[in-house]
A and B are shown apart, each in its own frame.
Chain A
Amino acid sequence: MSSPRTGLRTAGVALRAMLVLTVVLGIIYPLAITGIGQLALPWQANGSPVKVGDKTVGSALIGQSFADADGNPLPEWFQPRPSAAGDGYDAGASSGSNWGPENPDLIAAIKERKAQIAEFNGVDPEDIPADALTASSSGLDPHISPAYALLQVARVAAERHLAAEDVRALVEANIQVRDLGYLGEPTVNVLRLNIAVDELKG
């Protein structure tokens, strides 16, 4: 349908167009956005770092583990959701479990978590909210539900020899309401809450 010469001419145009567009869209555009971001919004552009004193201890957006080296949850800290990122909250390996609703591994994991959380916090297994029993999509979910945070108050207060009502007040102060009042779900940022609770003196 076309002579080899027109085909070759079109190929030349295509190649030059791709090169020029790569310079504009693949180099100038991202560098310009980076420049604007670094100048105008450096905290967000660099990952919303959270500091204690002058030491960065994490990101306000990325969940982290509050477990010992063997993966056992540390009772003096509020615990995040289960995580399927690497060995848990591995920020270089974001991932969900991808287990389906009838997968025996998921069913077993939920049963085990339910028993563990009930015992760990001394609560009725039926009072445990769904977010505490399920792994998030990213494996890096920085949040838990207010219900799961409140459920952990007694344990954390006892471990830290703090008054339960003080810790409860802290949780309530850390509840983030829905965006615009109706988008998404209310959350509690686990890292921020734990920093706050660590600063509470008994």
Chain B
Amino acid sequence: MDVLFALLQVATLALILALLYRPLGEYMARIYTSKNDLKIERVFYRLVGVDSSSEQTWQAYLRGVLWFSGVGLIFVYLLQRFQTVLPYSLGLPAVPEGLSFNTAASFVTNTNWQSYSPEVTVGYTVQIAGLAVQNFVSAAVGIAVAIALVRGFSRRRSGTIGNFWVDLTRGTLRLLLPISVIGAIILIAGGVIQNFNGFTEISTLTGGTQSLPGGPTASQEVIKHLGTNGGGFFNANSSHPFEDPTAWTSLMFSVLMLMIPFSLPRTFGRMVGDKRQGYAILSVMATFYIASVAILSALERVGAGTAPALAGGAMEGKEQRFGIFASTLFGTTSTLTSTGAVNSMHDSYTALGGMMPMLNMMLGEVAPGGVGSGLYGMLILAVIAVFVAGLLVGRTPEYLGKKIRPREIKLASLYILIMPTLVLVGTALSFAIPGIREDVVSTSIWNPGNHGLSEVLYAFTSAANNNGSAFAGLTANTPWLNTALGLAMLFGRFIPIVFVLALAGSLAAQDKVPATAGTLPTHRPLFVGLLIGVTVIVTALTFFPVLTLGPLAEGLL
């Protein structure tokens, strides 16, 4: 019976997303191709000093991304450092330097890794004017970069790839903000709090005391999911009943996390003038998503391992209102979208179950991935896939009429190499550097044995992929992890963006070559299968060795 309910839950989600695919995908295509500015946008451009009709080279576009993110980094850092003079700081002290850096890097990169515990670290002003603002704009930056890459495919002999400031503004004001306003009100109706009350002391039924938290939560909660950010208003993230009060709000969060990433293939198909290309990309993403949900749900339902067997079910770290299936659906969605929110504690999953969120991230956040970043990540893999196919038949590879030449392959390959390098080097250094190893083992790691290694591996996987979820037993608020993870987040976000925009510029400058009988069609099942294969091989071969030391050893021995 519960399996039937689980299937119904996935079917509901799939139906909602299917209904959104066309209208939302088309709407986004219109946003990013329209020649007209809204009145409010014209005011904004005047205030900021931007000519919205001008176009940018890829270098100028990149400069905009980097400066804007750099300003955000400094801004969020300073807000935390000067928290004591801000209103509604709940009497909390200034956030220390290392932690402020980590948190600023985390929110600017759309990661939302939380080395801090919100209730005792950040007041309301830092949350709404620092963190939540980045939740909006880092998401808008991600979509902008993806759209710039799509323009690379759709344009010919063009020196420009769009205007970053226009893409940023439209993504924020026409897409993220309106959905957030509606979503926030629905969430409040569901029980998510929205106030500036601070902590309220109450006398409980037995005469004890309890200090109930307040806060402007719903307004942040909605964009946390819609923008695939994931940073919780409270320490327990979306398992906190004030963030996620019911099973239906939890399903709504899955819709919010998936709606933009799963609809962007439609935007892509529309903009390159062939909707079938969008369906092909969507098929690859959906295949991974469905397989991953099914595997994690089955593993947690079976509940292998000493503690789950003893308790009669894998309910440690899960809320009763969600049970197994609303937890595994959310966990899969959150780790496949680079959101990183949790409504159950991944650290307490069964050994093999806990490997699934890690694998989801190790795919490179492409199924469907974060807002924007998922699409550009998948398009990079598509470039690799046509290259592999080209090698097999001995032809110059093409994708969407663009020749994939050595320059394009170099950029795609460099993109692919960044994330695994950050994950593996970061994890290895945590255990290899004397002094740091002792600190990691004695201070940071929470669970003994192989599971401890998994905690560190999970952290670097999460940071380098800009996911933000954690095996949360790990104490990450240490000088080493704050610094190393902060850098992993920044490098994991912005180095790939450099390659994506360079690729966009290179593609846009090319003319289109006409398709011939020898061209590999990239909308057919053959290509979908090939792209799935390439994605798995790139991931599995890279990470299999380290997974055997962590979750595989724990789960299979």
Q: Which residues of A contact B234 (CB under 8 A)?
A: 94, 138
Bound: A52/B206 CA distance, A? 12
In the complex, chain A residues whose CB is within 8 Å of the CB of B220: 30
Residues of B close to A133: CB separation below 8 A = 310-312, 315
Contact with A along B469-502 (1 / 0, CB 8 A): 0011100000000000000000000000000000
Which of B5, B185, B210 has the most chain A CB atoms inside 10 A of its CB?
Answer: B210
CB-defined contacts of A57 to chain B, threshold 8 Å: 202-205
Complex interface: chain A residues within 8 A of B179 (CB): none
**Residue of A99, A129, A194 most packed against chain B (CB within 10 A):** A99
B85 within 8 A of A: no
0/1 per residue, A85-99, Cβ < 8 Å to B?
100011111111111
**Contact partners of B68 in chain A: CB under 8 A:** 14, 17-18
Contact indicator B248/A179 (Cβ below 8 Å): yes
Across the interface, do B188 and A136 meet the contact criterion of CB distance under 8 Å? no
A20-B47, A38-B194, A184-B323 known; A102 vs B188 contact (CB < 8 Å): no
Contact B307–A106 (Cβ < 8 Å)? yes
Q: Is the CB of A103 within 8 A of B307?
A: yes
A39 to chain B, nearest CB (A): 11
Residues from chain B with Cβ under 8 Å of A46 in the complex:
193, 195, 197, 214
Give the contacting residue for A187; candidates B304, B320, B347; CB below 8 A. Answer: B320
Contact B165 A180 (CB under 8 A): no
Residues of B within 8 A of A140 (CB): 236, 240-241
Asked if A26 and B133 make an inter-chain contact with CB atoms under 8 angstroms apart, the answer reads: yes
Q: Which of B188, B348, B454 contacts A37 (CB 8 A)?
A: B188
Chain B 352-384 interface 0/1 with A at a Cβ cutoff of 8 Å (1 = within): 001000000000000000000000000000000
Closest chain-B Cβ to A12's Cβ sits at a distance in Å of: 7
B307 interface neighbour in A36, A52, A102, Cβ under 8 Å: A102
B27 is an interface residue with CB less than 8 A from chain A: no
Judge whether A20 and B44 touch: CB under 8 Å: yes
In the complex the two chains form, is B315's CB within 8 Å of A92's CB? Answer: no
Which residue of chain A is the closest to B473 with respect to CB atoms? Answer: A98
Is A100 a contact of B347 with CB atoms below 8 Å?
A: yes
- Any B CB within 8 A of the CB of A1: yes
What separation, in Å, do the CA atoms of A52 and B343 have in the docked complex? Answer: 30
Asked whether B239 lies within 8 Å of A61 as measured between CB atoms, the reply is no
Contact assessment for B210 and A62 in the assembled complex, using a CB-CB cutoff below 8 Å = yes
Judged by a CB distance under 8 angstroms, whether A53 is at the interface is: no
Contacts of B168 in A (CB 8 A): 17
Task: Give which listed residue, B310, B344, B350, contacts A107 with CB less than 8 A.
Answer: B310
A157 within 8 A of B: no
Beyond A11-B67, A92-B119, whether A143 also contacts B210 by CB under 8 A is no
A167 shortest CB reach to chain B, Å: 16
A22 and B63 within 8 A (CB): no
Type the 1/0 row for A68-99, where 1 means its CB is closer than 8 Å to any CB of B.
01000010010001000100011111111111
Q: Is B33 an interface residue, CB under 8 A from the partner? A: no
Distance, CA A34 to CA B451, complexed state (A): 42
Give B106-153 interface residues, CB cut-off 8 Å to A.
117, 119-120, 128-130, 132-133, 136-137
Q: Which A residues, 120 to 179, have Cβ-Cβ distances below 8 Å to chain B?
A: 128-131, 133-145, 178-179
Q: A45, B63: Cβ atoms under 8 Å?
A: no
Write the nearest CB–CB distance from A106 to chain B, whole angstroms.
5
In the complex, which residues of chain B have a beta carbon less than 8 angstroms from the beta carbon of A202? none
Given contacts A101-B306, A191-B205, contact A47 B193 (CB under 8 A): yes
Q: Which residues of B contact A (CB under 8 A)?
A: 4-5, 8-9, 12, 44, 47-50, 59-60, 63-64, 67-68, 70-72, 75, 117, 119-120, 128-130, 132-133, 136-137, 165, 168-169, 172, 177, 180-181, 184-185, 188-197, 199-200, 202-206, 208, 210-214, 216, 218-220, 234-236, 239-242, 245-248, 250-251, 304-308, 310-323, 325-327, 342-345, 347-351, 354, 446-449, 451, 454, 471-473, 554
The 5 A-B residue pairs with the shortest CB-CB distance, nearest first, are A184-B247, A98-B473, A130-B313, A101-B305, A185-B323
23 contacts between A and B (CB under 8 A): A2-B60, A11-B71, A14-B68, A17-B165, A26-B129, A26-B130, A34-B216, A37-B184, A44-B192, A45-B193, A47-B197, A61-B241, A61-B242, A62-B241, A94-B119, A97-B345, A99-B307, A101-B308, A101-B354, A106-B348, A137-B239, A183-B250, A184-B325
